[in-house]
Every structure is written in structure tokens, then in C-alpha cells.
Structure 1
Amino acid sequence: MANNYEKQYMTIVENILNNGYYDNNRTGVPTYKLPHQIIQVNLQKEFPILKTKQVAFKTATKEMLWIWQSQSNDVTLLQNQNVHIWDEWVDSNNTIGKAYGYQIAKYKQLDKLIETLKNNPQDRRMIVSLWNIEDLPDMQLQPCCYQTIWDVTDGRLNCMLVQRSGDIPLGVPFNTTQYAVLVHMIAQITELKVGQLTHVINNAHIYENQIDGMKEQVKRYNILNTYNHIKDDLSLLKNKELMSVFVSNPKLKLNTNITNFYDFTIDDIKLEDYENMGKISMKVSV
């Protein structure tokens, strides 16, 4: 069954395909785009990861740990884990310059966030920003997901993720999933429950060379919706592979013994019962 997250995501996809504004951008590959798209997920009820295509959960999580835990700009650390999503942006030292994790480390932003969540959870200034104007010229790629705003309400940790530019087919599913993991991790080590993840995308776009892939994903989503209409009689689901996708309910499992954010390893973070409809190959524009 398509979950609430997937419904919101696919609504944005179809809206861009049908109503997107066509224009050029710095990559040279035109996009169809819409401004100010929002996805809101109750992490108590679901873990946001797409079923209509495979999302590389471990790769997304490794990148998040590289930024938030290692707080590194050294792409070698990712390459050693067989993660090559940053290879196109490295400088002569195999770094991304003063971007992403560099900015978290520079001002000890994560440590300050955790301390505030533990000692003053009603603080309204819990913001982690990667958009440092002074250092922008020294970044290989200026951050897309550049800010998180944190809140605690009724013992639940909420996070607003603000993204200036979002590649809807490839980047955005990665980002929503990896920041959901981050919220779960920080909630655990601050003894809070997870709450709402709100993902705000200022420029939500689909590149022209991704259109066919997204149309395929829309077809898959329509198949899931058809299955949804007959969910009360699962005997009608003749395709066993599709049935496994339909009934799956992805759940994040963290090692509950971890009480220090920096002690998590990739092996402490697992996603259970994730079934999907397979890969859709699309290009990244750099």
C-alpha cells in the first residue's frame, strides 16, 4: 500500500509534470519546476521511503553520517564505504571545500543542538545552518539541504528541513529518508519520541532528461493505488512480488543501547520490511 508520505511525494511529481514551469539553470539541462513544495511526515506513524522505486537506504544513511557525525568534507571517507555520490564535486584534495559537515564542525552545531534539547527543549532558537555566507565561495557545491529547525512538543522531537533546491527524482527521496533517520537518532540520545518531519523545498524540479523515468514511476504508483482499492481481499492480488511491496511496512530499527550520537555505526541503523518496485535509472545533472 502506498503510504501517506508516498502520496504527498507523488502528488508533487504529477503536479510538476503537468504544471511545472520550464526553464534553464546552471547545469545546462532544463527543468520543469514548482516553488515551495512541502512534505510532512508523522514519524510515529510511518518511515518515509518510497516503494515505487528503490531508494538506496544504506547509501543515504552513510552520507548523513558523514555530514552529521563525521562532520567531514573529505570525500575519501565516503569512497572507502563504496559511496560515490560526491565524486563529481571534489577539489584537488578530494574534498568538497568548506561545505556541509565542515560547517557543523566549525561551530559545533550538533553538540550545541543536543545540549539544548537535553537542557532547554522549549528553546525556539534550535537551528542548524550550513549556509555560511562567508564560506560560500570556498564550497564545491553550496548546500541544497541547508538548514534544520528543531522543536520539542509534548515530548516529541520535530524537525523542519529546508532545501533551497531539490532534484525531485533523485535527491529529494534521499534527503527525506536520511533526515528521518537523523531525527530518530537524535530523539533516542535525547530521550525524546520522534514527532513530525517537515520537508520544505524552495525549488522543486525534474530535469528534462528525467521525464521518462518519472512517468514510469507514476505508472507504478497507479498500480499501487489500484491494489489499494482491493486491499480488503488480498486473494485478488495475483502477483506475489507486487503483493509483497503492497503489504510491506518499512520500520527503522536503531540499536537501543546507543546513548551517544557519535557511537552509532552504520550497523546500528537498520530498515526492516522495505520492499519496493525496483530501480529507475535517471541521470544526475551536475
Structure 2
Amino acid sequence: MSLADTQYLNIVENILNNGIYGQNRTGVATYKLPQQIMQFDLQQEFPILTTKFVAFKTAIKELLWIWQMQSNDVRKLQDMNVRVWDEWMREDGTIGKAYGYQIAKYKQLDNLIRTIKEDPDSRRMIVTLWNIEDLSDMALQPCAYETLWDVGDGYLNCMLVQRSGDMGLGIPFNTAQYAALVHMIAHVTGLKPGKFTHVINNAHIYENHIEQLREQLERRNQALPAPTIHINRDVTDFYDFKPEDITLEGYEHLGKLAMTVAV
């Protein structure tokens, strides 16, 4: 079975059994545990759940919106038939100074790729979306807010730090999304994808997701092998990637589990 299923479902089960009950800004109560960690060797397999469907194509489109387009304009996502940010769209069509805006503001992607190529031993390869001076002008302050990068022995490693993680909806999406990002950046910098570590400071389950996640836990013994990711080898510049250049081969899953996002 997929290692993503194993690690993810262990955290879900732990939260359901031992989580702390409490309220939050959304008005939908959660059970939570602090500082949950998943780690994957991307040479071994690609981390995407098989015990439920994860919208990989949507995840890639949002990833490109943030990291390649470096945009805060929700209408660009809607043009790609992606609606994940509709609930936070302001009257001007944006989410304020959030996400892609912060990558563009400081040319963070360009700096990261240049450092990986020119100074791979650097211990300062960090991309952060948590800009204190701009937090008040963000429709939603970033959840998956920081990546830390490392190069060693020809491998590119990445740690994603997430301040808040909705285990039902957000975490499966973000894990697959940022694992794909490691593959993409490794490809354009001439490296192999290495370790991907996902750190979730506040890992929580919303009350209205419990039934669906218990159903997913019941699927544990039916989990399937992980698929294989394919990156278009003809793309050499990150800014040339298109959604169809990043695909999964052999992605089989046990079906969708519908959940409502807490806004």
C-alpha cells in the first residue's frame, strides 16, 4: 500500500482517538494534535492517497498559480476551471497580498533556483509566504507558508511547514502538490528528488468530517500501490511548465469522500 496512506491514516486515527477538542475562527469545532510529521523518500514512491481520490490535476494548477504565475488573482484560477479560492475572493478578484504575491514581491523562486544551481551547499534556501507587514492585507493568511530546501549528493530535499492543516481536505492536497513541486524544481536544476518532509503545526479534523474520515480508515486494508509521477523532460525552465507536463501514471483510488470546506 501507499506510504502516504499509511502515514496519513496513522495521524488521522491518532487525532480521532487522542485529539484535543476546541473552537476556531471558522465556527466549526475541531479535534487537533500539534506538530504532526510525515516524511517520504521521493525516490521510493510518489505520496498521494489511494484510500480516497485526491484532485491531482487541480493541485498542479493551483501550484502553478502560486509558484509560476506568482499570482493572487483568483480569476486566473477560474480560467483553469479551479474553484478552490472562490470563497476568499475579494471584490477586486484577488486574495490580497497572499501566496503568489509574496513569491513575486521578493523574486523568491528565482532566488531559490539560482542558489540551488550556484551555491548548493547553502543552508539559507527558504521560501516564505509569511510576511508580517502584509498579513493584515491577506484574505487568508497562508497555511502552507514555508519551504526549506537542501541539496546533498545530487538530491534535492524539501521541508514544507504548514501552520494549520485540515486533515480531511487540505493535507492530502498539499502533500501531493508540494511533492510534485520538489520533482519539478529538481528536474530544472539537474538534481534528483530526495526527501520530502511535511510538518503540520496544528493538525485538525473538523467535526463535520469525522464520519468521512472514519469511512476512510475502514478502507485502510484496501489501500493500493502508489502511482508514478512523470515530468515532461523537454521542459528545462520552470516558467515553461504547463499542467499537462506533470502527470501521474497508474493512479488508482477507492473513490471520493465528499467534505465541506470550513471558511
Given the two structures, how large is their TM-score scaled by the length of structure 1?
Answer: 0.91
Shift of the alpha carbon at 1:49? 0.4
One-letter amino acid of the structure 1 residue matched with residue 245 of structure 2:
D
Matches for 1:134-145 after TM superposition, within 5 Å? 134-145=133-144
Tell me the SS of whatever aligns to 2:233.
Answer: coil
Match of 1:251 in 2: 228
Match of 2:82 in 1: 83
Aligned 8 A contact 2:2 2:48 in 1: no
> In structure 2, how many angstroms separate the alpha carbons of the residues matched to 1:218 and 1:4?
14
Tell me the SS of whatever aligns to 1:166.
Answer: strand
What is the alpha-carbon root mean square deviation over aligned residues?
A: 0.7
> In structure 1, how many angstroms separate the alpha carbons of the residues matched to 2:222 and 2:122?
45
Structure 1 gap ranges (5+): 225-245
One-letter amino acid of the structure 2 residue matched with residue 61 of structure 1:
I
Structure 1 residues 39-95: Cα deviation after superposition (integer angstroms, max 9, x where no partner):
000000010100000000000110000000000000001001110000000111110
One-letter amino acid of the structure 2 residue matched with residue 252 of structure 1:
I
Tell me the SS of whatever aligns to 2:219.
Answer: helix
Match of 2:203 in 1: 204
One-letter amino acid of the structure 1 residue matched with residue 243 of structure 2:
I
1:275 lines up with 2:252 in the alignment: yes
Structure 2 gap ranges (5+): none
Tell me the SS of whatever aligns to 1:122.
Answer: coil
After superposing on structure 2, the runs of 4+ consecutive aligned residues of structure 1 that deviate more than 2 Å are none
Aligned 8 A contact 2:51 2:222 in 1: no
Match of 2:179 in 1: 180
Match of 1:105 in 2: 104
> In structure 2, how many angstroms separate the alpha carbons of the residues matched to 1:121 and 1:213?
43
Match of 1:27 in 2: 26
Match of 1:47 in 2: 46
One-letter amino acid of the structure 2 residue matched with residue 109 of structure 1:
Q
Tell me the SS of whatever aligns to 1:136.
Answer: helix
Match of 1:129 in 2: 128
Tell me the SS of whatever aligns to 1:67.
Answer: helix
Tell me the SS of whatever aligns to 2:184.
Answer: helix
One-letter amino acid of the structure 2 residue matched with residue 200 of structure 1:
V
One-letter amino acid of the structure 2 residue matched with residue 190 of structure 1:
T
Tell me the SS of whatever aligns to 2:71.
Answer: coil
> In structure 2, how many angstroms separate the alpha carbons of the residues matched to 1:54 and 1:249?
12
- Aligned mate of 1:266, from 232, 243, 257: 243
Structure 1 residues 5-35: Cα deviation after superposition (integer angstroms, max 9, x where no partner):
2111110000001000000000000000000
Match of 1:232 in 2: none
